[in-house]
Structure 1
């Protein structure tokens, strides 16, 4: 195994970078879409229910099937993989954003409005800070999902550590599978740890005490 790593270390690092690139871009797009949508629909129960149901149905479709559906629409490569993975991780972030906003004490909103704050100011100064812990919990969960699922992006030519896993299966080379699996696990653990630190740092002090 050590001989394999010493002779393929550069390529392994490149595949790891590809995997990180796909995962980070997909997660970023998911956050950009899910958080604003969640904030906007949190207080409209019927609309929120429909959108959460739609996102939930999407997650029941196997990842490989979603990736395969991207081929006739966007071809092969990183772009369709990123689109598919971004759509696939919306539910945890969207769900946690909605719950985070709904859990805010209505009296706090009334107090903010009585102070003359506009709706935009209430969202910026009250709802976002108070909903942040739950939003970041959804982001942490989605980060682990997207890093794991990104291995399947190799199926449509997006590269990443999935290349090692599929090649290892096709050519019966366990070292390819083991090295890629270890790297994916390490990346997922590091991402979860870094986001946990970010959650602790960003969360308002008053909420830290109460948790």
Structure 2
């Protein structure tokens, strides 16, 4: 793990936390307003809240740039798919985020602006003063950014883990060189002042020289 990969992981985790927190906050507020009005709850909004909650917890736990954080790349990949699905589901409600669809002014904008408290005849977004349009676009934008963030960390984590595993395999295959077992040692010296001899540790031995005559 290099310094660049560690810094990159932390930066993208912060990015994910910010995006998930914004989307979670916007959708949670809207769901609260819908509950106050006693209206039906769109399953796509609930799915967005679940995705944001899981992502927020995961990114906080895996923000520390240790090896285990990179090994969570499979979960990053799963969250990337979840955010991709969420962005597609939300964007399809308003045809690319435009605040002119029937779903927007008759549901999102209507309940976001609390128009059920002062009933009005709605024929278009102008009747609800375009309530919640900026919040809806923010939810879409940060959903897309979160999707990109988890895709990047999934790729980064997979690359780091693959590199670490290859390095570990190479170290196990190479090992450490064995110590040479044929080290030579010197033979004993004759007490009577005769010449010394050298013997090998291996199976081959050298015949010692004849001892000197004692006078």
Q: Do the two structures share a fold, i.e. TM-score over 0.5? A: no
Instruction: Point out which structure has higher relative CO (alpha carbons under 8 A, 6+ apart).
Output: 1
- Taking structure 2 as the reference length, what is the TM-score of the superposition? 0.31
Structure with the larger helix share: 1
- Taking structure 1 as the reference length, what is the TM-score of the superposition? 0.32
CA radius of gyration, larger in? 2
